[in-house]
Amino acid sequence: AVALAPRSADAYLQLGSRLELASQAVNTAGVLAETRPAQAAEAELAYRMAVRLDPTNAEGFYQFGMSLRAFGPSRSAEAVALLETAAIIEPDHAGVASTVGYYMLASGASGR
């Protein structure tokens, strides 16, 4: 899709979602067994392009923030900033508040 529509934020958003899924090896019980860093990094690039092409797309910022889980706690602050941007764009976005709360608890932050 990106090759056919290189200026489409939605195409990059879809690519990021697929790469993110591909980066996660799930065992037969449905439990995340491992994360494949190379594909997680490719997903990040696709999400970054999606929000660059359409900076008003709350879902793009949300997906980008969520994808940073693959990189562990070291990326929590960046993830929260992306999720907060999604919340500013679309205050009623389902999932943003709970996800920001999760990242804040995971990083030990409180009171924001």
Task: Give pLDDT tens digits along the chain (112 positions).
Answer: 556 666 678 788 878 877 777 666 544 444 444 566 777 888 888 899 899 999 999 999 998 998 887 777 888 889 889 999 999 999 888 888 777 777 767 666 655 5
Pair 79, 65: CB distance under 8 Å: yes
pLDDT in the model for residue 2: 59
The span from the CA of 102 to the CA of 67, in Å, is 14
Report the alpha-carbon distance of residue 17 to residue 52 in Å, rounded.
16
Q: Which fold has domain 9-107?
A: 1.25.40
Q: What's the pTM value of the predicted model, to 2 decimals?
A: 0.69
**What are the extents of the domains in the chain?**
9-107
